[in-house]
Amino acid sequence: MVDLASGPPGDYAVHTNSTVMIDWPSQRRSVCRPMAPEPADGLDLGAKLARAIDGYRATWRTVDAELYDLCRRRPSQRIFADVYAKVAVIGRVYVAGVSRSSHAPGDREAEMARGLIGLADLIEETLADLAGRQFDRATAAQIVEPHTGDVWLPSFVSKYLHFHCDRVPIYDSNAASVIGCFVDRRLVADVRALMTDVPVCALAYRKFVAAFVVLQERINAETSVAATVKEVDHLLWQSA
């Protein structure tokens, strides 16, 4: 999701010792009810998705290709220079708000990089498990797990992981506000129930990933479009 404004509005960070903890507001409201009537443009899901894919390929796909390439060239989750470069570039291209949303002293992007390095084992294990697999209910829980560490700004971490593994959905407030328009809340609850033992800091991302699974299943059932996770993400961005 290309968040040209900032990270999720209304996100607050508190700093305790050297750890950046994100305190999420308890209330978020979607701009529409789940499975609301289709907008007045008259386009069905397949047509909307096709339009979003065309727009993505004409614009942001080239930018994203550079970020995927950066993560391929600097794959380490342990070398500070590699992790810091990825945090800084991805965060600034996607205006993820790392430097503003953290109250850590000094270089906040460096603090985020150190936090990611501290969870290198989990990140590497998750990326290895996801390699060659599709985004579906079976992989959803694995995608959420790396967002449950002590140092997290979920909107940024989803972006960071996505450019290492393009099956990871990108989370931000715009996408979260509109995804309910495309999915059935009951189906989302069923998927969410498969992801247990999630701390408070990851609940919003768990809900979003569950809804993304249901949306992907709806696309597969109702259209003939073979959309990537990033192309579905662009559908949400255009709909926000």
- Report residue 10: phi and psi, to 5°: 85, 5
**Most confident by average pLDDT, 30-39, 81-90, 148-157:** 81-90
User: Would 193 be classed as within a structural domain?
Assistant: yes
Q: Please name the residue that has the structure tokens 């953290």.
A: 102
User: Would 67 be classed as within a structural domain?
Assistant: yes
Give the pair of three-digit tokens for residue 237. Answer: 């961005």
User: Would 72 be classed as within a structural domain?
Assistant: yes
CA distance 92 to 124: 24
User: Would 45 be classed as within a structural domain?
Assistant: yes
User: Would 7 be classed as within a structural domain?
Assistant: no
- Report residue 72: phi and psi, to 5°: -70, -40
User: Would 2 be classed as within a structural domain?
Assistant: no
| Tally of domains in the chain | 1
Q: 3-state class of 226 per DSSP?
A: coil
CA distance 99 to 129: 31
E-state strands within the chain: 12-16, 19-23
Report the pLDDT averaged over residues 154-176.
Answer: 92
User: Would 4 be classed as within a structural domain?
Assistant: no
Give the tens place of pLDDT for each residue, 192-218: 998 887 777 788 899 999 999 999 999
Count of beta carbons in the 10 Å neighbourhood of residue 7 = 25
Q: Is the dihedral of CA 23, 27, 31, 37 positive or negative?
A: positive
User: Is the separation of the CB atoms in 163 and 83 below 8 Å?
Assistant: no
Q: Is the dihedral of CA 91, 92, 94, 98 positive or negative?
A: positive
Which residues face 14 on adjacent strands? 21
Please give the residue that has the higher pLDDT: either 144 or 66.
66
User: What range defines the domain where residue 63 resides?
Assistant: 12-239
pTM for the full model?
A: 0.79
Q: How far is CA 9 from CA 5, 34, 88, 131, 172, in A?
A: 9, 21, 20, 32, 9
Q: Is the dihedral of CA 69, 72, 74, 78 positive or negative?
A: positive
Q: What is the pLDDT of residue 18?
A: 36
Q: Please name the residue that has the structure tokens 């409201």.
A: 29
Give the tens place of pLDDT for each residue, 69-91: 999 999 999 999 999 999 999 99
Q: How sure is the predictor about 173, in pLDDT bands with cuts at 50, 70 and 90? A: confident
User: Is the separation of the CB atoms in 80 and 117 below 8 Å?
Assistant: yes
